[in-house]
């Protein structure tokens, strides 16, 4: 196995699969199929996963003319080693979104910021749809699940009316990542595309619901008389801090996910504009 042409996320995902794949197979065969006892097969599978990662990184480092022994040893460290090797072998991505970069910290958690573009292309509607579909993976098409990101960098749906697309990230759910939602319309020169890039409305509602439910739950518990608790009620300070803790946890997870997709706006804009041979004919101010 060679990692030429793969993104950092794809390299990390393949090393993850090689390391834990044998253990997962043995887990299924021993826990569910019950074909043989867990030991010593679980230990053998764990060792096999380590060997597979070691050999794979060693071979890839050799073909890439990197120090073989050094990177084979570093890459054999779960997670950290895989991340370091992926950074060396995978191409870097753009670091900034186009035109509307707010403060770096606030940009990670500001899910209400978006930007709208109007693009124009000489291509016809059918050609626009076909080109975007060729570059997109679909949840409902298993044949596209394992395509390389270089071939299908986007995830979502494309129809005759428009599209909703996100950047594919290995081992990361697309929730809270930026989405390009567009609508096609015919114009005098070919096809016009109105595009909005930002967090989807569904994800915004989910975020507000999470925080709202935490606040509502705390208010309900605080409103219950102490005499009604069976057994004794938890400390009042704990009930007051509950929504703040839930909100802080959500914001930390949100920041991590948004950090993974920090270049998605630039990537979405670039792929769509390039693939459709489109020019920007209008851009609205960032919306919040």
Q: Are residues 103 and 41 in the same domain?
A: no
Confidence at 105, pLDDT banded by 50, 70, 90? low
| Residue 226 pLDDT level (bands cut at 50, 70, 90) | low
Is the predicted pLDDT of residue 175 greater than 70, yes or no? yes
Distances (CA, A) of 47 to 18, 54, 58, 69, 94: 11, 11, 16, 18, 37
Q: Over the stretch 17-41, which tens digit does the pLDDT of each residue have? A: 899 999 999 988 888 878 888 888 8
Among 41, 62, 89, the domain boundary falls at: 89
Task: Average the pLDDT over 108-124 and give the result.
Answer: 89
Q: What is the predicted pLDDT for the residue at 287?
A: 59
Q: Among 18-32, 73-87, 188-202, 212-226, name the one with the lowest average pLDDT.
A: 212-226
Both 20 and 145 in one domain: the answer is no
Lowest-pLDDT range of 90-94, 255-259, 279-283: 90-94
Last residue of a domain, one of 89, 124, 139: 89
Quick one: 71 and 105 in the same domain? no
Q: How many domains does the chain have?
A: 2
104, part of any domain: yes
Q: Are residues 81 and 114 in the same domain?
A: no
What residues make up the domain containing 197?
A: 96-288
More confident residue, 261 or 177: 177
82 lies in a domain?
Answer: yes
Answer yes or no: is pLDDT of 119 > 60.
yes
Specify the range with the lowest mean pLDDT, choosing from 61-65, 227-231, 251-255. 227-231
Same domain, 19 and 113: no
Based on the fold, state whether residues 179 and 116 are members of the same structural domain: yes
| Confidence band of 96 (pLDDT split at 50, 70, 90) | very low
Regarding predicted confidence, which is higher, 63 or 169?
63
Region 200-214: what's the mean pLDDT? 90
Same domain, 41 and 131: no
**Residue where a domain stops, chosen among 65, 89, 113:** 89
Same domain, 42 and 108: no
20 and 74 inside one domain: yes
Q: Please check the confidence at residue 124 and state whether its pLDDT lies above 80.
A: yes
User: Do 81 and 108 belong together in one domain?
Assistant: no
Mean pLDDT of 276-287: 75
In a domain? residue 2? no
266 & 157 share domain: yes
82, 109: one domain: no
Question: Is 132's pLDDT higher than 70?
Answer: yes
């Amino acid at each position: 196995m060679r990692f030429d042409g793969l993104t950092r996320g794809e390299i990390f995902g393949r090393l993850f699969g090689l390391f834990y794949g044998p253990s997962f197979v043995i887990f299924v065969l021993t826990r569910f199929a019950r074909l043989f006892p867990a030991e010593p097969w679980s230990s053998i599978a764990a060792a096999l996963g380590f060997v597979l990662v070691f050999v794979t990184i060693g071979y890839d480092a050799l073909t890439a003319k990197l120090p073989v022994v050094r990177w084979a040893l570093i890459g054999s460290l779960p997670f950290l080693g895989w991340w370091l090797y992926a950074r060396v072998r995978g191409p870097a991505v753009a670091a900034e979104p186009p035109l509307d970069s707010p403060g770096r910290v606030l940009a990670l958690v500001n899910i209400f910021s978006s930007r709208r573009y109007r693009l124009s292309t000489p291509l016809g509607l059918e050609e626009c749809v076909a080109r975007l579909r060729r570059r997109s993976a679909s949840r409902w098409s298993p044949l596209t699940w394992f395509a390389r990101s270089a071939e299908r960098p986007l995830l979502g749906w494309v129809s005759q009316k428009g599209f909703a697309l996100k950047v594919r990230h290995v081992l990361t759910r697309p929730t809270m990542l930026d989405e390009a939602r567009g609508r096609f319309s015919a114009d005098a020169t070919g096809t016009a595309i109105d595009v909005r890039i930002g967090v989807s409305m569904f994800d915004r509602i989910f975020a507000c619901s999470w925080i709202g439910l935490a606040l509502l739950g705390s208010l309900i518990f605080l409103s219950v008389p102490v005499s009604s608790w069976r057994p004794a009620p938890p400390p009042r300070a704990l009930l007051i801090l509950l929504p703040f803790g839930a909100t802080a946890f959500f914001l930390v997870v949100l920041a991590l996910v948004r950090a993974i997709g920090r270049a998605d706006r630039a990537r979405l804009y670039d792929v769509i504009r390039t693939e459709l041979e489109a020019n920007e004919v209008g851009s609205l101010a960032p919306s919040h």
